[in-house]
Structure 1
Amino acid sequence: MRNILFIIGTYPSYGGTEKVTTVLANAFAKRGHSVSIVSFVQPNPELGEEELEPSIQLFALNYPLRKKSNIPLLEEIIIDKNIDVIINQWCLPYYVTLLINRARKQKNCILISALHGVPDQNKRLLKILHYKNNTNNLILKQFYTSLHAAMLFLTGLNLKYVYMQSDLYIVLSKSFIDIFIKLSKIKNNNKLISIANPITIEAPLTFNKNCQESKKNEILFLGRMDYVNKRVHRVVEAWEQIYKKYPDWKLVLVGDGPEKNTLESYVKSENIERIFFEGFKKEAPIEFYKRAKILMLTSDLEGFGLVVIEGMTYGVVPIVYGSYSAIYDIIENGKSGFITTTPYSKDKTVEYLNKLISNEELYRKMSEEAYDKSQHFALDRIVAEWEGVIEKVYNTKIRHLSFK
């Protein structure tokens, strides 16, 4: 058994990385490991009490994280808890790793860095591309092109530094490995592996005809509503094209964010019927997954797409914009869901919606396939992968130190 310390920027909180951290931490604790979590910002402390195993300890560092006081604070935690393994869930920016390495000098623990996104994509880069694509000014367009290239170069330097300073570096998809190597320009990739995110909600042990019979004619979107990233307006616009054909169907939007008011105004002004805005839900959205037949995700930026796997565990058939390569790990296109290729096509999205809604036999078959595919991301399987690599890297480092 190992003493494991997670380091994350914001925790406890409601984001995807935060949820994955909670689920992994609980699983490690239940398997007998000693687990602690360190964060720099703690916006929702009540979640720690509600969701974490009682044995897991939470520690707070100071924000901004470059404060010198963070080094002795983190060092004290590492030594006091006799940490064997540090899992860095916030490996961009590089100075989190710099802080960790300064704090672990007195303790021979291993550092595993986990990137929860696509190596060459992030919100900052996406915003720059958005500005570039939405201006007709040639000077501004060239400026944003140059700025994007510069930021991409800096991202590569960050990736390389953290990789070189870590004992193991984990990305979410095998398809991210080549992207990482190309961007970071590392010469040796023997410390670079992929481990997928696990299912983070309570999942049914089986999925059968009775589960399908309890479904409603609902299309579901679940997530944060922001324009630059999630592009929820695409879901609304696709529904606008088909809702008159299917009067017994409805669209349910679960979540909150800066685009929500704009979407509500658009729906009202265009008199689009049977769209229900459910707002943010603190509790797990299992009831929505149980009812929905189709899940839509039309984001320009996703790291992995936990909501897709979560829905699939309840037989919800996903229609996802293939803006990120990890989605091909999750969905077998045309079998366990549909992936629309880049650039985004509303027509293709509508085509897949029509196929699923109008063909009950197709829906039922794909629903079963979606459930089966989701089992590749079962928590026990993913945690076993983590434990295997932790032991391998830890034992390798200990052997190396013993020969010094």
Structure 2
Amino acid sequence: MNNSKIDFFLIDHTPVGGVERVGCDLINLFLSNGIDVDYLITQHNDYEKPHFPYPKEIKYINLDCSTADLEERLYESFLNLKIKKLIFAGDNMSISIALLKAAKRAGVIAIPQYHGSPHAYLDKYISLRDMLGNPYLFFKYLVAKSFRPFKLLKLKKYLLLAEHGVACVSQGSADEIKKLYKNSRAIIDRVFTIYNPLHLGLDRIDCNINEKNNTIVYLSRLEEKHKNSFLAIKAWNEIAHKYPNWELHILGDGSISEKMKGYVADNKLTNVVFYGMVKDVASHLSKSKISILTSNCEGLGMGVLESICYKNAIVSTLSNGGIIDLVEDQISGLLVPRNDYKAFAQSMEKIMNNEQLRIKYVNESYKILSKFSDDGIISEWKKRFNL
């Protein structure tokens, strides 16, 4: 048996999503560096074919089962497939607990890759302004607060079951977990950070910082809650009329896409372009000057990381998770309090009106990319699995 072999589990590897993309990138990175990956196990598949280019040699095992049956099905699979080392997407508490129990029974070294922020699980992102406008949201907020202690216990159970450690994709998320359980040395000692592979080939990126268009890019799923996407056009509405020579390009699709388009139409915003789901993100990032992120929480924010690679200045909300791994406020970009669309608009304006400041932020942010080297990421995973 090859000791340099690590297999993978994703809840579903077929959708367009950050977790699925990172899983695909990491599998490809392992294979290109002499680490075998035989199996990708999934709980279910929503689509016939995966969106991302997983290697052809990978064997897919679709358990097609409920979460209630998952522990037993995984245990049987681990034994039958002789799996000994496993990386899995560890953001869903119930699924992660079932997997860790199965792994312990089967003698599998299983390490969760924690893609989010613990606050995405624990908290409701409902602002005071939202509650004042809709009293029902105040009720939802109170219910969420009452369930929080139970969620903290479930998250603690998950973290203690992960006896081989929890790989957070950002230092920001790792620090949040450690702060929540600051009195538990067992949890603090097993939480660490391994960044997602960038896998872009920076030396091959053709992008001239001085030859970009007056374009702002918003790259994200268009969703409420964690993504808070509506803030992007609400902030743009504050200043769009003053900058007819600038455009906001929205790359992505989601549940509030039509709501956002309706808002743009109602406010007669002619300098907003919706592109939907875009495969060739590079062509947009290479031509734009600024990238924005409006999230309430992001494990790392791969769209921001890609934007930095293509020399875009960053304006982002100060979200929970890993934005602080990528942007230092007023040093390498601008960070704005969550839900403050007026401050967000002012921050965009600040960069739009100051070319020298834009270039300063771009040059400073580019320095962080050394943290995302393929060699460093491979080395960290090998260390964790004693390869």
Per the normalisation by structure 2, the TM-score is 0.88
State whether residues 6 and 86 of structure 2, in contact with CA within 8 Å, keep that contact through their aligned partners in structure 1: yes
Query: Deviation at 1:303?
Result: 2.2
Structure 1 residue aligned with 2:153: 157
Give, as a single letter, the amino acid of the residue that structure 2 aligns with 1:353. M
State whether residues 9 and 88 of structure 2, in contact with CA within 8 Å, keep that contact through their aligned partners in structure 1: yes
State whether residues 2 and 84 of structure 1, in contact with CA within 8 Å, keep that contact through their aligned partners in structure 2: no
1:197 aligns with 2:196: yes
Give, as a single letter, the amino acid of the residue that structure 1 aligns with 2:124. L
* Cα 1:370–1:178 shift into 2, 3 Å: closer
The separation in 2 between residues aligned to 1:248 and 1:294, in whole angstroms, is 14
1:358 aligns with 2:353: yes
1:239 aligns with 2:236: yes
Q: Identify the match of residue 378 of structure 1 among 368, 373, 378.
A: 373
Query: Deviation at 1:173?
Result: 2.9
Q: Identify the match of residue 47 of structure 2 among 21, 36, 44.
A: 44
Query: Deviation at 1:364?
Result: 2.1
* Cα 1:243–1:99 shift into 2, 3 Å: closer
Query: Deviation at 1:138?
Result: 7.8
State whether residues 88 and 114 of structure 1, in contact with CA within 8 Å, keep that contact through their aligned partners in structure 2: yes
* Cα 1:187–1:133 shift into 2, 3 Å: farther
The separation in 1 between residues aligned to 2:304 and 2:40, in whole angstroms, is 27
* Cα 1:359–1:138 shift into 2, 3 Å: closer
1:51-90 pair list within 5 angstroms: 51-67=53-69, 71=72, 73-90=73-90
Question: 1:179-229 CA distances to partner (integer Å, 9 max, x unpaired)?
Answer: 3245456342222212222325x2432778x62234211100011112333
Secondary structure of the structure 2 residue equivalent to 1:356: helix
The separation in 1 between residues aligned to 2:231 and 2:134, in whole angstroms, is 26
Q: Percent identity?
A: 23
Structure 2 residue aligned with 1:399: none
The separation in 2 between residues aligned to 1:238 and 1:137, in whole angstroms, is 21
Structure 2 residue aligned with 1:308: 304
The separation in 1 between residues aligned to 2:305 and 2:227, in whole angstroms, is 17
Query: Deviation at 1:18?
Result: 1.0
Query: Deviation at 1:177?
Result: 3.6
Structure 1 residue aligned with 2:284: 288
The separation in 1 between residues aligned to 2:135 and 2:221, in whole angstroms, is 33
1:219 aligns with 2:216: yes
* Cα 1:216–1:145 shift into 2, 3 Å: closer
State whether residues 176 and 321 of structure 2, in contact with CA within 8 Å, keep that contact through their aligned partners in structure 1: no
* Cα 1:180–1:32 shift into 2, 3 Å: same
1:322 aligns with 2:318: yes
Per the normalisation by structure 1, the TM-score is 0.85
Question: What is the aligned-residue RMSD (CA, Å)?
Answer: 2.8
Q: Identify the match of residue 11 of structure 2 among 5, 9, 12.
A: 9
State whether residues 2 and 85 of structure 1, in contact with CA within 8 Å, keep that contact through their aligned partners in structure 2: no
The separation in 1 between residues aligned to 2:342 and 2:133, in whole angstroms, is 26
The separation in 2 between residues aligned to 1:110 and 1:331, in whole angstroms, is 34
* Cα 1:60–1:149 shift into 2, 3 Å: same
State whether residues 43 and 63 of structure 2, in contact with CA within 8 Å, keep that contact through their aligned partners in structure 1: yes
State whether residues 91 and 116 of structure 2, in contact with CA within 8 Å, keep that contact through their aligned partners in structure 1: no
State whether residues 83 and 109 of structure 1, in contact with CA within 8 Å, keep that contact through their aligned partners in structure 2: yes
Range 272-281 or range 241-250, more displaced: 241-250
1:168 aligns with 2:168: no
* Cα 1:318–1:191 shift into 2, 3 Å: same
1:250 aligns with 2:247: yes
State whether residues 132 and 145 of structure 1, in contact with CA within 8 Å, keep that contact through their aligned partners in structure 2: no
Query: Deviation at 1:58?
Result: 1.5
State whether residues 14 and 47 of structure 2, in contact with CA within 8 Å, keep that contact through their aligned partners in structure 1: yes
Structure 2 residue aligned with 1:402: none
* Cα 1:76–1:30 shift into 2, 3 Å: farther
**Residue ranges of structure 1 left out of the alignment (5+ in a row):** 395-404
Query: Deviation at 1:301?
Result: 2.8
* Cα 1:85–1:131 shift into 2, 3 Å: farther
The separation in 1 between residues aligned to 2:238 and 2:81, in whole angstroms, is 58
Query: Deviation at 1:63?
Result: 2.8
